[in-house]
């Protein structure tokens, strides 16, 4: 599933293309792409046509395009394989295309935004905007203190300017679960998935099953520093791509996979000590760590 860096790369690519753009047409090819939308395809098409976007915002793994003059937005969740692609008007249909928006932009002219999704776990929706609990901007890419209603329960991500480090540390240290499970809890902090949790914990030298409540405040601070470092590096490298499913708005893959130290490297030597990286089953996925550098205590 795309994590914060991958979704932020998509948001940044969409922003100049959609800001000020007016929707001139909507084509829903697959109703499964509207699982988060309260109405059907006809309602989605009719409601969105003629609306003007004022930007592209993100919190955690969720994107939204606020609509001018309305307390509503176009909510985007990429699921496991969703893509938001910018295409020329009238471009050939993508292989897994589900929804197409035709846009006219005052600077860029006509263009198409295509939502393609191979596994069909992603979704678009028109969703009401509600006030943020802390009164700060909703997320990256917006100054408005609002978020889509379906995103209101999602915590701020570690790169958000309004992220509260003290509150994060306190919440982590109240959890009895293993620290990796806590990092993946999107109500504690958002945007971190399996890849970046493994990478941050490797960098912090902390075993993924270490009970969060047993960590000192300095250990939590170290984890947060490493989480931010790995997210920022992944952002700079365009995200992590293992196959053709994650791409940016132009269909290009990220290359952070070449920088991974733990995730997906089972059996390979730890870059720090040379001990083979191990993989253990974790929540229907896997945890990757160095048994020497990340000893469980």
pLDDT tens column, 169-216: 999 999 999 999 999 999 999 999 999 999 999 999 999 999 999 999
* DSSP H stretches of helix in 96-178: 165-172
Residues 274 and 172 reside in one and the same domain: yes
183 touches 189 (CB < 8 A):
yes
Q: What is the mean pLDDT of residues 50-69?
A: 97
- For the question of residue 280 being annotated catalytic, the response is no
Predicted local distance difference test score (pLDDT) of residue 62: 96
Question: Is the sign of the CA dihedral 33, 35, 40, 46 positive or negative?
Answer: negative
Distance of alpha carbon 163 from alpha carbon 189, whole angstroms? 9
Please report whether residue 297 resides in a domain. Answer: no
pLDDT tens column, 14-41: 999 999 999 999 999 999 999 999 999 9
Please report whether residue 95 resides in a domain. Answer: yes
Number of structural domains found in the chain: 2
| CA nearest neighbour of 245 among 109, 123, 81, 3 | 81
Domain's final residue, options 117, 151, 185: 151
Q: Whole-number mean pLDDT of the chain?
A: 92
Please report whether residue 45 resides in a domain. Answer: yes
CATH number at residue 177: 1.10.8.50
Residues 129 and 171 reside in one and the same domain: no
Please report whether residue 160 resides in a domain. Answer: no
Residues 128 and 214 reside in one and the same domain: no
Please report whether residue 157 resides in a domain. Answer: no
Residues 142 and 223 reside in one and the same domain: no
Q: Assign 3-class secondary structure to 177-203.
A: CEHHHHHCCCCCCCCCCHHHHHHHHHH
Residues 147 and 175 reside in one and the same domain: no
pLDDT tens column, 134-170: 999 999 999 999 999 999 999 999 999 999 999 999 9
Q: Which of the four pLDDT bands, split at 50, 70 and 90, describes residue 276?
A: very high
> Is position 59 annotated in a ligand binding site?
no
208 touches 296 (CB < 8 A):
no
Contacts for 11 with CB less than 8 Å, ≥ 6 apart: 56, 57, 58, 63, 140, 141
Q: Could you tell me which residue, 241 or 141, shows the higher pLDDT?
A: 141
- For the question of residue 271 being annotated catalytic, the response is no
pLDDT tens column, 103-133: 999 999 999 999 999 999 999 999 999 999 9
Domain's final residue, options 151, 173, 200: 151
Domain range for 198 is: 165-289
- For the question of residue 233 being annotated catalytic, the response is no
80 touches 243 (CB < 8 A):
no
Q: What is the mean pLDDT of residues 46-68?
A: 97
> Is position 207 annotated in a ligand binding site?
no
> Is position 96 annotated in a ligand binding site?
yes
- For the question of residue 61 being annotated catalytic, the response is yes
Please report whether residue 158 resides in a domain. Answer: no
Please report whether residue 296 resides in a domain. Answer: no
Residues 15 and 146 reside in one and the same domain: yes
Residues 111 and 173 reside in one and the same domain: no
Please report whether residue 122 resides in a domain. Answer: yes
Choosing from 209, 279, 285, 291, the catalytic residue is 285
Choosing from 58, 61, 180, 265, the catalytic residue is 61
Domain's final residue, options 100, 116, 151: 151
């Amino acid at each position: 599933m795309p994590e914060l860096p991958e979704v932020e790369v998509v948001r940044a690519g969409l922003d100049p293309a959609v800001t000020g753009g007016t929707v001139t047409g909507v084509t829903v090819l697959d109703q499964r792409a509207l699982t988060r939308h309260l109405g059907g395809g006809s309602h989605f098409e009719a409601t969105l046509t003629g609306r003007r976007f004022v930007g592209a915002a993100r919190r955690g793994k969720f994107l939204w395009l606020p609509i001018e003059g309305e307390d509503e937005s176009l909510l985007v969740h990429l699921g496991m394989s969703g893509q938001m692609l910018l295409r020329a008007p009238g471009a050939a249909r993508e292989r897994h295309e589900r929804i197409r928006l035709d846009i006219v932009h005052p600077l860029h002219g006509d263009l198409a935004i295509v939502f393609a999704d191979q596994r069909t776990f992603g979704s678009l929706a028109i969703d009401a905007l509600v006030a943020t609990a802390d009164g700060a901007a909703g997320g990256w890419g917006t100054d408005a203190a609002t978020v889509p209603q379906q995103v209101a329960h999602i915590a701020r991500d570690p790169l958000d300017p309004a992220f509260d480090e003290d509150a994060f540390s306190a919440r982590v240290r109240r959890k009895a679960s293993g620290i990796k499970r806590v990092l993946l809890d999107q109500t504690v902090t958002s945007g971190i998935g399996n890849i970046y949790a493994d990478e941050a914990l490797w960098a912090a030298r902390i075993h993924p099953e270490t009970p969060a409540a047993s960590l000192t405040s300095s250990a939590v601070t170290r984890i947060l520093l490493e989480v931010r470092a790995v997210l920022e590096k992944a952002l700079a490298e365009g995200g992590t791509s293992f196959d053709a499913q994650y791409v940016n708005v132009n269909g290009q893959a990220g290359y952070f996979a070449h920088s991974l130290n733990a995730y997906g490297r089972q059996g390979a030597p730890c870059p720090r000590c040379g001990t083979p990286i191990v993989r253990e089953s974790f929540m229907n996925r896997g945890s990757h760590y160095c048994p020497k550098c990340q000893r469980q205590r």
